[in-house]
Structure 1
Amino acid sequence: MGKHRDGFKSRTGFVLACIGSAVGMGNIWRFPYMVSEWGGMTFLLPYVLFVILIASTGVIEEMALGRAAKSGPIKAFGKCTEIRTGNKRTGEVIGVIPVIGSLALAIGYSVVVGWIFKYTFFALSGGLFHLGQDVAAIEGLFGGTAAAFGNNVWQVIAMLVTAVIMAYGISGGIEKANKIMMPMLFILFVGLGIYIFTLPGSEHGYRYIFTLDPKGLFDPRLWIYAFGQAFFSLSIAGNGTVIYGSYLSEEEDVVSSARNVAFFDTLAALLAALVIIPGMAVGGAELSSGGPGLMFIYLLNVFNGMPGGWCVEIVFYVCVLFAGLSSLVNLYEAPVEMMQERFGFRRKIAVAVIAMLGGIISLMIQGIVSGWMDAVSIYICPLGAMLAAIMFFWVAGKDFALTAVNKGTKKPIGSWFMPLGKYVLVPAALLALVAGALLGGIG
Structure 2
Amino acid sequence: MGREKFSSRLGFILISAGCAIGLGNVWRFPYIVGQYGGAAFVLIYAVFLVILGLPIVVMEFAVGRASQRSVALSYDVLEPKGTKWHYAKYLGMAGNYILMMFYTTVAGWMILYFFKMAKGDFTGLDAAGVGAQFEGMLANPVLMAVFMILVVIGGFAVCAKGLQGGVEKITKVMMVCLLVLMVILAVHSVMMDNSGPGLEFYLKPDFGKIQEAGLGEVIFAAMGQAFFTLSLGIGALAIFGSYIGKERSLMGEAISVTILDTFVAFMAGLIIFPACFAFSIEPGQGPKLIFVTLPNVFNNMAGGRLVGSLFFLFMSFAAVSTVIAVFQNIVSFATDLTGCTIKKAVLCNAAAVILLSLPCVLGFNLWSGFMPFGEGSNVLDLEDFIISNNLLPLGSLIYLAFCTTRYGWGFENFMKEANEGKGIKFPRWVRGYVTFVLPLIVLVIFIQGYIAKF
Compute the TM-score of the two structures, normalised by the length of structure 2: 0.91
Maintained 8 Å contact 1:66/1:244: yes
Q: Name the counterpart of 1:19.
A: 17
CA distance in 2, matches of 1:371, 1:398: 36
Q: Name the counterpart of 1:407.
A: 420
Q: Name the counterpart of 1:225.
A: 221
Q: Name the counterpart of 1:301.
A: 296
Deviations 1:244-276 (A, max 9, x none): 111111223311111111111111011000110
Match of residue 137, structure 2, among 145, 154, 165: 145
Maintained 8 Å contact 1:202/1:281: yes
Deviations 1:78-130 (A, max 9, x none): 23432xxx125x222222101101110112101101111111122222223x2
1:135 and 2:127 correspond: yes
Maintained 8 Å contact 1:58/1:389: yes
CA distance in 2, matches of 1:417, 1:244: 24
CA distance in 1, matches of 2:139, 2:254: 38
Maintained 8 Å contact 1:238/1:385: yes
Maintained 8 Å contact 1:74/1:91: no
CA spacing shift, 1:410–1:307, aligned 2, 3 Å: closer
Deviations 1:316-367 (A, max 9, x none): 1011011000111222233221111111111121122111111112123212
2:72 maps to a residue whose letter is I
1:169 and 2:162 correspond: yes
Percent identity over the alignment is 28
Equivalences for 1:356-375 in 2 at 5 Å?
Answer: 356-366=351-361, 367=363, 368-375=379-386
Moved more, 151-160 or 365-374: 365-374
Maintained 8 Å contact 1:73/1:98: yes
1:316 and 2:329 correspond: no
Q: Name the counterpart of 1:118.
A: 112
2:138 maps to a residue whose letter is A
CA distance in 2, matches of 1:106, 1:356: 13
Structure 1 residue 148: Cα displacement: 6.5
Deviations 1:15-69 (A, max 9, x none): 0001101111111110111011111012111101111113431111111111001
CA distance in 1, matches of 2:153, 2:286: 25
1:336 and 2:336 correspond: no
CA distance in 2, matches of 1:334, 1:390: 22
CA distance in 1, matches of 2:422, 2:138: 47
Moved more, 150-159 or 273-282: 150-159
Maintained 8 Å contact 1:11/1:252: no
Compute the TM-score of the two structures, normalised by the length of structure 1: 0.93
Structure 1 residue 298: Cα displacement: 0.9
Match of residue 9, structure 1, among 7, 26, 34: 7
Structure 1 residue 415: Cα displacement: 1.8
Match of residue 199, structure 2, among 199, 206, 218: 206
CA distance in 1, matches of 2:91, 2:140: 28
Q: Name the counterpart of 2:369.
A: none
1:96 and 2:105 correspond: no
Q: Name the counterpart of 2:184.
A: 191
Q: Which runs of 5+ in 1 are unaligned?
A: none
Maintained 8 Å contact 1:379/1:437: no
Q: Name the counterpart of 2:376.
A: none
1:290 and 2:285 correspond: yes
CA distance in 2, matches of 1:169, 1:298: 39
Match of residue 327, structure 1, among 322, 334, 355: 322
SS at match of 1:237: coil
* C-alpha RMSD of the superposition: 1.7
Maintained 8 Å contact 1:378/1:440: no
Q: Name the counterpart of 1:263.
A: 259
Q: Which runs of 5+ in 2 are unaligned?
A: 364-378
